[in-house]
Structure 1
């Protein structure tokens, strides 16, 4: 929930510069009331960090060209790259398309833009190089090499159909879905030119990337939600009076404060599977790898190659498609739904923390 809060705050700051404070407040509230955005943030999805990276990158470069803005944009870019490799480039691509459509393409060659990209890559490399040295070529292939490029460029087949993301939008983007086409139409016809081009550039870049075949997940749509929120916020801002929005702001402040207190102070289990639980496996994983069991596998997890495993355990796992593929020697990480299969197999369970199990095969 903390990443969601930062996304909302950053979107408010961006919208207040692109449009006005009325639109900024409504946009932030719409983002907070987007079901899948909050749900995926509760699950610690890396896509929420990419979304924050996009908003911050655009915000810093929109705000100015000073060294502070440049460093801020570079840091924002590095956050996205750390979270999901090439997906972290959404920010520069969105802002770059905006500059081109605005006729300001020369700014792409300006020192501030180039330095922001360079700083982002530098910050990213400070993490990437040591982890690469520790884990070898397999990590590099999975994170920025052949496997990552295969996913990015559509070298992997569709698994859920070519209109999967449209189905996700139609099924989950409620109650805002009926307002979305009206909002985009109003943005196209009534919004200031800068705001119109920014929103449309944002949607165009992310939507275009979703056209490439890759393992499809609904969370890949998360970077679209801030752009949708900006459009709907602009639409509703033209319909509501200032007094109404002031009342909503007071109610949101009180309700948001209470909700934030409950979520962050009381030990509520808001999501059954938390990637943070992977940290509990790290001491055992490190111990067994030091004993020679260097290969790590995942079985029946939500993702073929979880970025969370890379971040929390500093290893690049391989996917097991069935029990027939169990290694003679190695470590296997399974979620609760796959634990029962492995308990009847030849591998020994070392730890189960309620979300993940670690099995040793030797």
Structure 2
């Protein structure tokens, strides 16, 4: 009976944290609107082989991540919930694998459950796991791959090892079809220290080819299909999306070597105090329990791998939090057996973090704040209240968990609940009117629906329009962004116009119907600075500007 109550409590907590807020928050551009529209176009066209974005070829990622989003949108319809549920589904399965793996290593149910809870409530995991990107999907396949490797390493017979390595290959193959060849590199570097320590080279060389066979078997049908349909896909995807993105001097998202250190620290909240001891335990117990050293390698080696790469994003290290959650859970459960300053310190950190955020909102970001340009306007007092309440929940939970911390330390999982439920209502209008185009698009939906042609100078906004109106033929003005490759094909030649070509094009094509534009402008820039023909209608909110040319 007690076990059933705990299970129902965890399900209710998961629902409030991960499911309830999904539909409340508007989609963010460029990421969420992009992935929403790519999957919508796949469903509408029935082409599940070649990704298209705004009707153009889009080769930045393979297809398996889109397949998960396709199924989500097919099941739940045209909604924000459906766009984000693929990420939630993936990170939830990863949490179940984390719990299973923790139990396999320590045979302790409390450690297993808390490993899943810590994983799901870590700030980086929650932030990315409720956001429509492909990183939760690649995290799922990498976590599955590492679980399969553990199965193989612990098997005593040849059949068990062979099965484990085949499953490892299948998981890596799905990772390749989700985000590329990093799905092969990350598991290899992760297990390397453990293989050296355990001297498992013979096993790797004997059964490793089965993993390669499994990866080839799962990826080959789609790889051949897209090579036949689009011969240039693999050339572009390998050289541009792998070599240039990560290694070359002009790599995207360049950042210094230490970039991931603050990401790791912030991402480990609300369990930050457990982080140093968890890493130390992985090293200290490497001889007593080799599983701890294996988990440590899974944390540290990918972290070093991505730190060496030129291009960096916080989302890249999401897979590191699966083993980190297991190590932190074991650390907490061990410390909870007696009075621990670390568990009390964790409550103190959460209390201070929540209080600091409240002070920042009230003293700097609010209309009466000290900031030169406060984030909130004078009419946004309700939003200020929601932001304060969200972080006040964090501080109060931290204060409660630091008293009798050896019993109450799991309450830290409740810290992000206020943020999860209130952050959608707390986002300032200055952010909404630059990063969340849905409300603005709804304001001018009737004009857009009646327009023969629609343009935008921002790919993220264009994809938001396409998703809202369920029409992919949104044209680009001045900037092609990430669609430059697709625009080079014949069907893309007339899909983008610059300021010199637009007036002549407009004189000819407005005879066919209304021409509309939604522009994303700098806050200080006026429409007159765009050198556009005089429009018939203009409507502006923040950085979003709608202009329309009526048919002549």
Please report the TM-score for the alignment, with normalisation by the length of structure 2: 0.46
Q: Could you tell me which residue of structure 1 aligns to residue 212 of structure 2?
A: 117
Out of 119, 124, 132, which is 1:31 matched to?
119
> Alpha carbons of 1:282 and 1:142: their partners in 2 closer, same or farther (altered >3 Å)?
farther
Q: Could you tell me which residue of structure 1 aligns to residue 231 of structure 2?
A: 136
Out of 105, 128, 148, which is 2:242 matched to?
148
Pairing 1:8–2:104 present: no
Higher Cα Rg, which structure? 2
Q: Could you tell me which residue of structure 2 aligns to residue 330 of structure 1?
A: 495
Q: Once the 2 structures are TM-superposed, how far is the Cα of residue 134 of structure 1 from its aligned partner?
A: 2.3
Q: Once the 2 structures are TM-superposed, how far is the Cα of residue 153 of structure 1 from its aligned partner?
A: 3.2
| TM-superposition CA deviations, 1:144-192 (whole Å, max 9, x none) | 2354123343544563333222232234432222221122112222364
| TM-superposition CA deviations, 1:101-124 (whole Å, max 9, x none) | 31111111123x321222113312
Q: Could you tell me which residue of structure 2 aligns to residue 195 of structure 1?
A: 291
Pairing 1:18–2:112 present: no
Out of 181, 193, 203, which is 1:86 matched to?
181
1:210 partner SS: helix
> Alpha carbons of 1:129 and 1:212: their partners in 2 closer, same or farther (altered >3 Å)?
farther
Question: Does structure 1 conserve the Cα–Cα contact (< 8 Å) formed by 2:487 and 2:493?
Answer: no
TM-align CA RMSD = 4.6
Q: Could you tell me which residue of structure 2 aligns to residue 238 of structure 1?
A: 334
Out of 129, 133, 148, which is 1:45 matched to?
133
> Alpha carbons of 1:53 and 1:316: their partners in 2 closer, same or farther (altered >3 Å)?
farther
> Alpha carbons of 1:330 and 1:38: their partners in 2 closer, same or farther (altered >3 Å)?
same
Pairing 1:224–2:320 present: yes
Q: Once the 2 structures are TM-superposed, how far is the Cα of residue 44 of structure 1 from its aligned partner?
A: 2.7
Q: Could you tell me which residue of structure 1 aligns to residue 503 of structure 2?
A: none
Pairing 1:340–2:520 present: yes
Determine the C-alpha separation between the residues in 2 that align with 1:178 and 1:76. Answer: 33
Determine the C-alpha separation between the residues in 1 that align with 2:468 and 2:217. Answer: 30
Pairing 1:61–2:149 present: yes
Q: Could you tell me which residue of structure 1 aligns to residue 445 of structure 2?
A: none
2:257 partner SS: coil
Determine the C-alpha separation between the residues in 2 that align with 1:144 and 1:182. Answer: 39
| TM-superposition CA deviations, 1:285-314 (whole Å, max 9, x none) | 5x89xxxx9xxx854xxxx57xxxxxxxxx
> Alpha carbons of 1:173 and 1:66: their partners in 2 closer, same or farther (altered >3 Å)?
closer
Question: Does structure 2 conserve the Cα–Cα contact (< 8 Å) formed by 1:142 and 1:316?
Answer: no
1:176 partner SS: coil
Q: Once the 2 structures are TM-superposed, how far is the Cα of residue 46 of structure 1 from its aligned partner?
A: 1.6
Gaps of 5+ in 2: 1-87, 153-159, 339-403, 426-434, 439-459, 498-517, 522-526, 533-552
Out of 240, 259, 263, which is 1:168 matched to?
263
Q: How many residues align?
A: 306
2:321 partner SS: helix
Gaps of 5+ in 1: 306-314, 320-326, 333-337, 347-362
1:238 partner SS: helix
Question: Does structure 2 conserve the Cα–Cα contact (< 8 Å) formed by 1:7 and 1:52?
Answer: yes
Determine the C-alpha separation between the residues in 2 that align with 1:273 and 1:101. Answer: 52
> Alpha carbons of 1:231 and 1:279: their partners in 2 closer, same or farther (altered >3 Å)?
farther
Q: Could you tell me which residue of structure 2 aligns to residue 108 of structure 1?
A: 204
Determine the C-alpha separation between the residues in 1 that align with 2:164 and 2:194. Answer: 18
> Alpha carbons of 1:133 and 1:155: their partners in 2 closer, same or farther (altered >3 Å)?
farther
> Alpha carbons of 1:278 and 1:58: their partners in 2 closer, same or farther (altered >3 Å)?
farther
Q: Once the 2 structures are TM-superposed, how far is the Cα of residue 59 of structure 1 from its aligned partner?
A: 1.1
Determine the C-alpha separation between the residues in 2 that align with 1:282 and 1:124. Answer: 34
> Alpha carbons of 1:66 and 1:339: their partners in 2 closer, same or farther (altered >3 Å)?
farther
> Alpha carbons of 1:27 and 1:146: their partners in 2 closer, same or farther (altered >3 Å)?
same
1:196 partner SS: helix
1:144 partner SS: helix
Q: Once the 2 structures are TM-superposed, how far is the Cα of residue 330 of structure 1 from its aligned partner?
A: 2.8
